[in-house]
Amino acid sequence: MSRKLRQSFVLSFISLVTLNLLLAACGTDSPLSDPAQTAPTQASQLTTTTTSPTSPATTAPQSQATAPANPVATATPVPVVVPRFEAANCPFKLGKGQVDGQNINCGYLVTWAEHKKAQGQTLRLAVAILKSTGSKPAPQPLVYLEGGPGGPVEGIIRAYSDSIPIDRFPAKSLLNDHNMIFIDQRGVGYSVPTLECFENNELIYADLVNGLDLRAKKDEDLDKRDLAALDTCYKRLVTEGNDLSDFNTAENAADINDLRLALGYDKIDLFGVSYGTQLALTVMREFPQGLRSVILDSTVPLQADIYAQNPANLDRSLKVLFKNCAANPACNRAYPNLAATFIRAIARLNAEPGAVEVTDPRNGKTYLYYVQASSLLNVFFQSFYDNQFIPAMPVILAGIDNNNYDKLSQLLSYSLFGSQNISDGMYYSVDCSEAVAFSSPEAITNNSRNTLPEIQKYFVPSSQKIFKTCQHWPVKPANSVETQPVVSDLPTLVMSGEYDPITPPSYGQLAAKTLSKSFWMQFPGIGHGVVFSSACGTTVAAAFLQNPATRPDASCIAGMSTKFVINN
């Protein structure tokens, strides 16, 4: 079981399920005209190299061979600045009302693959700049850092379009006061290179098309097949010229600082979600001079052993669900003793996997998937990410207890097919070097001793598979500083969701301990990604950005709770 549930089910940390559902329901090459975005203002911090006009965009100039006896005329080499921003047409489909060159501008940040060398290979990172809808936006932009690691930003950018009303995506209001900048991090989405492992995605379709019945397959056989696909992806990416050890959070943080410099900003505001908070914390440590304020939404403290604590965190989320249902009169009447229902549901699937119809939301094709006890726990883990599914979990559990899987079908569909939004290569390159390298299977066992027996039996072994996986993705271990608390006096808003299974409220509190000017808040009824899930979260974030030195008004939290779905 990995941070993004790679062994069975996957969901991007920024609530891709919600954004996909919302989206389903519902021309110039220059950057924005804001003077701050037109040219670097800190050229002394930029690196200048020399290249000819025909040099490839992905490499720095190489030493020239001896000139031929009869040389031909060549163009005079011209200086090239790295980092730099190159305007370009948006490479993805824009949402309703988004017009390239008017309220959205795209391009590429050209930056070093390895910043300390400041030479050799360069990367092209896809950037989109959304123009503020207000008449007087703040002088500094709000730079969004996606989760994953390896999550793309295309879906979130389109969520800011006219396709989705603000009452269904309140985070759109952040555009009132800020230009917003989105970047596909190195190895992700439309950036070049991208570290997508299509070999893994092909297995999902192969299993579904062939009607894979997991009852007839041994776990070790499936593991060998999955690892073989991963080996193929790793070798392909290396053969394509990628040093996968360059795809890490420290280099990512330097990219964000390069983005600020290339667009000519003295200060920026950062907004990170999930892994984006780990990245934001690293930027705070390495480049504090470029930051005005930081929002950490669903925080990953660098010092947390996130894999070792996964089972215990799921256990906590389940117990919060059981407690809240029992305290809600309607939920308690409809689903008395939800904990016992959960135990029976797990036992049922252990005895006989349940056949569930799943539908690919992109093409409407339907497949049959067999859910086992272990895979159901992975689904529950994933359900707690999204407050769309949390209220329905008692209904789902009651259905399974009665051998009815209709309510599970929608969640499972998005769980399976959402995996293809993630850059596997970036995910494993980051986590194998920065998280797994500093943890162990024994740590998972030790941290799970007080969890529910069902978690110990089914979820712990699933969680431990990441250590075998990383043996097939060899990258250099990160510097130990990547496991140390970040100490900062930058104004920081730390937001936690009550049910969050991967970055629980205790993680937000842990990170805030060493951030002297931080404000930590917990939001009831919310899972992972507070701002994207809650109007209250967006309101608090907007108030903080207006005055980061003062604790924002969070009185709206008092009215939040879980609105359980009752199946009459």
Pairing of strands 518-523, 122-130: unpaired
What pLDDT does 219 receive? Answer: 61
Q: What is the pLDDT of residue 45?
A: 41
Dihedral angle, C-alpha 555, 557, 563, 564, nearest 10 °: -150
Burial of 45 from C-beta contacts in 10 A (0-12 / 13-18 / 19+): middle
What span, in angstroms and rounded, lies between the C-alpha atoms of 100 and 22? 22
Select from 73, 106, 72, 76 the least CA-distant residue to 89: 106
Encode the chain (568 residues) as per-residue pLDDT tens digits.
Answer: 334 443 333 333 334 444 444 444 443 333 333 333 333 333 334 444 433 333 333 433 333 333 333 334 444 444 568 999 999 999 999 999 999 999 999 999 999 999 999 999 999 999 999 999 999 999 999 999 999 999 999 999 999 999 899 989 999 999 999 999 999 999 999 999 999 998 877 776 666 665 555 544 556 677 888 899 999 999 999 999 999 999 999 999 999 999 999 999 999 999 999 999 999 999 999 999 999 999 999 999 999 999 999 999 999 999 999 999 999 999 999 999 999 999 999 999 999 888 888 888 778 888 888 888 988 898 889 889 988 899 999 999 999 999 998 888 888 887 777 655 789 999 999 999 999 999 999 999 999 999 999 999 999 999 999 999 999 999 999 999 999 999 999 999 999 999 999 999 999 999 999 999 999 999 999 999 999 999 999 999 999 999 999 999 999 999 999 999 998 5
Does residue 541 contact residue 531 with C-beta atoms inside 8 Å?
Answer: yes
86: three-class secondary structure by DSSP: strand
**Which helix (H) or strand (E) element contains residue 367?**
strand 366-371
Residue 415, helix vs strand vs coil: helix
